[in-house]
Structure 1
Amino acid sequence: MSRITLEVCVDDVAGLVAAAEGGADRIELCAALEVGGLTPSRGLMVRAAALDLPVLAMIRPRAGDFVYDAAALDVMRADIDAAREAGLTGVVLGASRPDGRLDADALAALVAHSAGLELALHRAFDLVPDPLEALEMAVSLGFARILTSGGKTTALAGVETIAEVTRAAAGRISIMPGSGVRLDTVSELLARTGAHEVHASCSVPHVPADPRVAALGFASPLARRTDRTTVAALRRALDGSSAS
């Protein structure tokens, strides 16, 4: 088996360093991972572009659902421009209709604006009523991969759907399991899905040294930090799976 790609999501400079030193193959660059990731700042994009790794920026202007109006789409186009100008590899996109289906018109506009950048479809995919229909749309729009937990809270819980979508994709697009990908779940995920890449936070809880930071609302109680040791351990596990 060929080497399995490890994508690590990070939301600060320390996370960039931890992911790179731990052995990540690719980085999903975000802000606010505690709400699933938002668009990172331009400064963080520039810093990430200096790494000798592919980096894709999350393009998500707010927390919540993925139903965007014209004003939000304008913001997203400007953020795509920022990612390109910073020298990043690509962007991570998603847009939904109110019924959960992918918004073909919004995605087509964003994809067109992303010309020259690598494209990943984020977990808006996990809200769709028909994953196979959404798969075909993603293929037709030119996405390189789909990040999915199979519509469940963790990839292991959604493993059957991930496997079904992977079979239907038939190599036309990569299906990348994400959410709850850890040392104790990754081997089963790989065995049951046939995935060639995985997405993980490799994070540990982060408690500010000064308790006033959280008490005054400056930090989320859900805050976590990318952990170099965890990245390295998952990298070793993936290398073991590749060799078997």
Structure 2
Amino acid sequence: MTALEIAVTSVAGAVVARAAGATRVELCSALEVGGVTPSQGLVEGVLDEVGGIDATDGWQGVHVLVRPRPGGFGYSVEERRLLRREAETVLEAGADGIVFGALTPHGKPDVELVWALADAAAAYEATVTFHRAIDVSADPVAAVRALDGVVDRVLTSGGAPAAAAGAATIAEMVAVGGPDVLAGGGVSVDAIEALAALGVEGVHLSAKRWVTTTGRVALGVADDGGHWVTDPDVVAAAAAAVAQRPRR
């Protein structure tokens, strides 16, 4: 069956996602900037609740984003060291997979860095996802070829603002026959059937809703009194949609 991956930012979100039918979760912080590495405490808290692959019900566990900052995917020497350190930290904590991406100045996958983190993951028997850095690469289809044999899957919108709009490119990426292709980026429940029909390994969405707190003082220029939470109804609807469409 097509996998359902839900991006979550909290212990509660991970619990909700698994209970409502997700196949796995991608754990990160700061979804509003595309996600960054979550704190060690958050990683451990989520792993305590929903970590560990369970073949009896198809659960693929907790995959943790490793991204030291927002804003581009070309990294300095210091940031490359930090990426490796963060990857080791979440792997040692027990992550079932890591999610990351890096590009060269020419917009190609930074295969040297990707290999280094993939080797670290292999030592822990964890899987590796190359994230939507691929969507800002010079050629997403060529990038899939370059990552063949290095990562387990790529997360992509086909280079478009939303995966539905990038369907033609996603189909080309699937046809490469390299890493599995996970369709993500602006995915709505209504788009899942068409995306699954492309032959992707799974679909990825945040399934979130906004909650606000009234009668408070803003604590910063970006503090508007609310935050995102995982919506169990959206996860359940997405799970129902993928269940209707087996992978080709």
Please give the TM-score of this superposition, normalised by the length of structure 1: 0.89
- After the TM superposition, which residues 34-183 of structure 1 pair with which residues of structure 2 at under 5 Å, given as runs? 34-50=32-48, 51-52=50-51, 53=59, 54-116=61-123, 117-141=126-150, 143-169=151-177, 172-183=178-189
Shift of residue 9, structure 1, vs aligned partner: 0.5
Say what the alpha-carbon RMSD is for the aligned residues: 2.0
Cα deviation, residue 27, structure 1: 0.7
State the one-letter code of the partner of 2:162.
Answer: T
Aligned amino acid, residue 228 of structure 2: R
Q: Where in structure 1 are there 5+ consecutive unaligned residues?
A: none
SS at match of 2:186: coil
In the TM superposition, structure 1's runs of 4+ consecutive aligned residues that sit over 6 Å from their partners are none
TM-aligned CA deviation for residue 13 of structure 1: 1.9
Cα offset, 1:220, TM superposition: 5.8
Give yes or no for contact 1:34–1:222 (8 Å, CA) kept in 2: no
Distance 1:220 1:44 in 2: 23
The one-letter code matched in structure 2 to 1:65 is G
TM-score normalised to structure 2 length: 0.88
Query: What pairs up with 1:203-222 in 2 under 5 angstroms?
Result: 203-213=208-218, 216-217=220-221, 219=223
- Structure 2: where are the runs of 5+ without partners? 52-58
1:187 corresponds to: 193
State the Cα distance separating 1:211 from its structure 2 match.
4.3
Q: 1:225, 1:149 → 2: CA distance?
A: 23
Partner of 2:146: helix, strand, or coil? Answer: helix
1:205 positional shift: 2.1
Tell me how far apart the structure 1 counterparts of residues 47 and 12 of structure 2 sit (CA, whole Å): 14
| 1:180–1:200 contact (8 Å) kept in structure 2 | yes
For 1:174 and 1:209, how far apart are their aligned partners in 2?
44
Q: Which amino acid in structure 2 is aligned with residue 232 of structure 1?
A: A
Letter in 1 for 2:208: S
Whether the 8 Å CA contact 1:4–1:198 is kept in 2: the answer is yes
Q: Secondary structure at the match of 2:245?
A: helix
Contact 1:27 1:56 in 2 (8 A): yes
Q: How many residue pairs are counted as aligned between the two chains?
A: 236
Deviations 1:116-142 (A, max 9, x none): 32100000110112223211221132x
Aligned-pair identity in percent equals 35
Structure-2 separation of matches of 1:31 and 1:242? 31
